Amino acid sequence: MHIPDNYLSPATCAAIAAAMIPVWTIAGRRVMKDVPKAGVPLLGIGAAFSFLVMMLNVPLPGGTSGHAVGGALLAVALGPWAACISLSIALLLQALMFGDGGILAFGVNAFNMAFVIPFLGYFVYRIIADRSASERGRIVGIVAGSYLSFNAAALCVAIELGIQPLLARGPSGLPAYFPYPLSISIPAMMVPHLAVAGVVDALFAGAVFAFLRRVSPGALYEGSGTRLRGTYVVLVLLACLSPLGLLASGEAWGEWGVETLRKLVGYVPSGMQPGFGFSSLFPAYVVKGLPGVLGTVASAAAGAAVLVIAFKLLGLLWRGRRRKARA
Amino acid sequence: MIPAWLRTIEAYPERSDRSTFIERSILTFLGLLSRFRLPGTGKWVRINPPIALASTVLLILLLSLSRGALFISYTGALLLVILSLHRGEVILRVLKTSVPIAVFTLLVMLPSAVWGTSASLTTIPFKVFFSAAALRLLVENEPWGSILGGLRFFLLPRLFILVLDLTTRYLVLLGEHSLHMLYALKLRSVGRNSRKTASLAGIVGTLFLKSRRMAEETYAAMECRCFSGRYPAGRADRWSAADLAALAVDALTVFVFLTAGAA
């Protein structure tokens, strides 16, 4: 679910990141008010916790294993605001350390996984848990909340990717970023998430929640009661619709109306014409458009660098073998 | 006299059991902890962290904005030259992070060739590869603390940086704690054990309780040390020749983008 850089246009990244700034600001304030005893350290340690949960392998049917996000679980455990900040920081670290998710796309990834998942998950959990006093009701709440919020986030990812062909085009008129329209991106994202990943995440959340309720029920976030509900519905609905808002604003400029949509269907043959795309990284050793000297220097430097890198990697392999032979 | 029960040969037929997820988790956690224990191993030249961070983000942004082969080619050449100046181990780590993402992207983009949008097949995997490599190079060259300090220049609130700092420190502490629990689970899971998944819930649950207690203890410790709710920023380093070189490369990158970025 982590979107890397260059899948989305920088405009999409900027718009969604801008939408996240007030969320983070309010979340910071709310956490200070909600959890005065643990305060700031809880955010940091909660982020470390959510990072580790995302790294833990969960057994999957067929003997393989996968990762859970545990976003709804975190929201129920720490409260949705604290979970929002913790998950955002965990995502930033993942982008920096493992290249999971891009740095420009960080705001978008935070929107999907640190906003939609914890808030929708917590909202569904509260609706179900508040209406059933039993322990089973709470567990059903967290499982349902986890499953629905996880798939809602997957839908957001599918929409954000699927609107790219409409939003940004290259000089040749072809999509400059993610090339598939909504009709492809939605089923491609939703089928595996609805069938497998969402189920795993929900079962994982249910199991951990049941354990926590049994061992230390007091450690879970109690929430500030009923006044959250109305605003939550609006907030979450807006959240799920906001990627579509990007598309709507594009329409308002009048740049991509029916005409562009017609072109969208018709670009298949034009893309097959020769001249688009490039066959090698450095066509004819000269990067056209740049001053000729610079192009030649760049080509030569890259060639030499590739050789140096190859020799260094070979040296590493050779040293490793020698060490093994000595041992 | 050896008792009869000691003379019988014990047959222990090993039955297949699903425990790969424990081993994989142990390996993932070990990998994570090793990254924090070996900070800044790839240090090549000392560039001021804010400049290094800003240059990386600038490169990734321009790469994302560029609409054609020319600027991507320039970025590729630049990154290859920088990469070739590093030690073999660092090169390997950079490639290990960036190549899988690029290959995955290539697979995702493969059907688009049939779709008629072959441009995305050739440009996007390269863009993804170079962005991931640039980010990884930054992490290899700057210790964690410096990258976090460098974030100050992006006008991030100090609270956010403090939280990030706490996160990286507690990742190591909590990571070691969960590693010990995974070892314990593995040692106690000899033979067939169908309750491993329940134990997994126990590990995560215990980890949560532990992190909760750690947070409260840290806050108490901060208060005992007269924490007043303000987070003073550290001092910036003095400028060096490497900083000027980095700025010169940035200027060249912007120039190349302006002349060839759209083509």
Let me know: does A68 contact B200? Beta carbons within 8 Å.
no
Quick one: pLDDT at residue A173?
A: 67
- Min Cα distance A318 → chain B (Å) is 11
Neighbours of A36 (CB within 10 A): 9
pLDDT mean over A49-63: 72
Residue B231 predicted with pLDDT over 80: no
**How many angstroms separate the CA atoms of B149 and B165, rounded?**
9
Please tell me which residue, A303 or A15, carries the higher pLDDT value: A15
Interface membership of A320 toward B (CB under 8 Å): no
A40-49, A209-218, B93-102, B153-162: least confident range: B153-162
Q: Give the one of A95, A268, A281 whose C-beta lies nearest to B116's C-beta.
A: A268
A305 contacts B170? CB cut-off 8 A: no
- Cβ within 8 Å of residue B34, ≥6 positions away: none
Let me know: does A110 contact A23? Beta carbons within 8 Å.
no
Residue A30 predicted with pLDDT over 70: yes
Neighbours of A82 (CB within 10 A): 25
Kindly indicate the confidence band of residue A327, based on its pLDDT and cuts at 50, 70 and 90: low
Q: Give the one of A58, A96, A308 whose C-beta lies nearest to B84's C-beta.
A: A308
Let me know: does A86 contact A50? Beta carbons within 8 Å.
yes
Which residues in chain A are contacts of B131 at CB distance < 8 A? Answer: 4-6, 102-104
Kindly indicate the confidence band of residue A69, based on its pLDDT and cuts at 50, 70 and 90: confident
Q: pLDDT of A142-188, one tens digit each?
A: 999 999 999 998 888 888 888 887 777 766 667 777 777 788 888 88
Interface membership of B66 toward A (CB under 8 Å): no
Quick one: pLDDT at residue A147?
A: 92
Please name the residues between 30 and 49 in chain A that touch chain B, using a CB distance below 8 Å.
37-49
Please tell me which residue, B137 or B261, carries the higher pLDDT value: B137
Please name the residues between 147 and 166 in chain B that touch chain A, using a CB distance below 8 Å.
147, 157, 159-160, 162-166
- Cβ within 8 Å of residue A32, ≥6 positions away: A39, A40
Interface membership of A55 toward B (CB under 8 Å): yes
Q: Give the one of A45, A215, A271 whose C-beta lies nearest to B117's C-beta.
A: A271
- What are the C-alpha distances in Å from A181 to residues A9, A67, A158, A254, A265? 14, 27, 9, 20, 10
Q: Which of A52, A212, A273 is best to mutate for the B interface (most B CBs within 10 A)?
A: A52
Residues in chain A: 327
Q: Give the one of B60, B91, B259 whose C-beta lies nearest to A309's C-beta.
A: B91
Which residues in chain A are contacts of B203 at CB distance < 8 A? Answer: 56
Residue B49 predicted with pLDDT over 50: yes
pLDDT mean over A35-64: 72
B118 contacts A271? CB cut-off 8 A: yes
Q: Taking the model in full, what pTM does it have?
A: 0.75
> Any idea which residue has 């073999």 for tokens?
B88
Q: Give the one of A49, A92, A302 whose C-beta lies nearest to B208's C-beta.
A: A49
- Min Cα distance B56 → chain A (Å) is 10
Q: What residue of B is the nearest CA neighbor of A213?
A: B205
Q: What residue of B is the nearest CA neighbor of A307?
A: B84
Kindly indicate the confidence band of residue B116, based on its pLDDT and cuts at 50, 70 and 90: low
Amino acid at B72: I
A103 contacts B60? CB cut-off 8 A: yes
Q: pLDDT of A88-117, one tens digit each?
A: 888 888 887 777 788 888 889 999 988 999
Which residues in chain A are contacts of B89 at CB distance < 8 A? Answer: 316
Please name the residues between 188 and 217 in chain A that touch chain B, using a CB distance below 8 Å.
204, 207-208, 210-212, 215-216
Residue A238 predicted with pLDDT over 60: no
Residue A52 predicted with pLDDT over 70: yes
Quick one: pLDDT at residue A60?
A: 63
Quick one: pLDDT at residue B226?
A: 78
Please tell me which residue, B110 or A270, carries the higher pLDDT value: B110
Quick one: pLDDT at residue A279?
A: 40
**How many angstroms separate the CA atoms of B168 and B185, rounded?**
25
A212 contacts B209? CB cut-off 8 A: yes
> What value does the mean pLDDT of chain B take?
78
Tell me the CATH architecture of domain A10-268: Orthogonal Bundle (1.10)
- Min Cα distance B25 → chain A (Å) is 5
ipTM: 0.75
- Min Cα distance B44 → chain A (Å) is 15
Which residues in chain A are contacts of B216 at CB distance < 8 A? Answer: 37-38, 41-42
A182-186, A212-216, A293-297, B23-27: least confident range: A293-297
**How many angstroms separate the CA atoms of A153 and A268, rounded?**
30
- What are the C-alpha distances in Å from B148 to residues A51, A86, A310? 17, 16, 33
Quick one: pLDDT at residue B189?
A: 73
Q: Give the one of A4, A9, A180 whose C-beta lies nearest to B101's C-beta.
A: A4
Q: Distance from CA of residue A80 to its chain's centroid?
A: 17
Let me know: does B237 contact B48? Beta carbons within 8 Å.
yes
Q: Give the one of A28, A104, A211 whose C-beta lies nearest to B60's C-beta.
A: A104
- Min Cα distance B85 → chain A (Å) is 8
- Domain ranges, ordered by start, for chain B: 46-229+240-260
Interface membership of A289 toward B (CB under 8 Å): yes
Quick one: pLDDT at residue A281?
A: 45
B31-40, B62-71, B199-208: least confident range: B31-40
B200 contacts A56? CB cut-off 8 A: yes
Q: pLDDT of B58-73, one tens digit each?
A: 888 888 888 777 788 8
Quick one: pLDDT at residue A296?
A: 66
A283 contacts B69? CB cut-off 8 A: yes
Identify the top-confidence range among A14-23, A213-222, B36-45, B147-156: A14-23
Please tell me which residue, A10 or A147, carries the higher pLDDT value: A147
Residue A244 predicted with pLDDT over 60: no
pLDDT mean over B159-185: 81
Identify the top-confidence range among A52-66, A220-234, B23-37, B64-78: B64-78
Quick one: pLDDT at residue A227?
A: 42
Please tell me which residue, A264 or B13, carries the higher pLDDT value: B13
Which residues in chain A are contacts of B70 at CB distance < 8 A? Answer: 287-290
Q: pLDDT of A119-150, one tens digit each?
A: 999 988 888 888 887 888 888 889 999 999 99
Q: Distance from CA of residue B199 to its chain's centroid?
A: 28
pLDDT mean over B211-232: 76
Residue B126 predicted with pLDDT over 50: yes
Quick one: pLDDT at residue A267?
A: 46
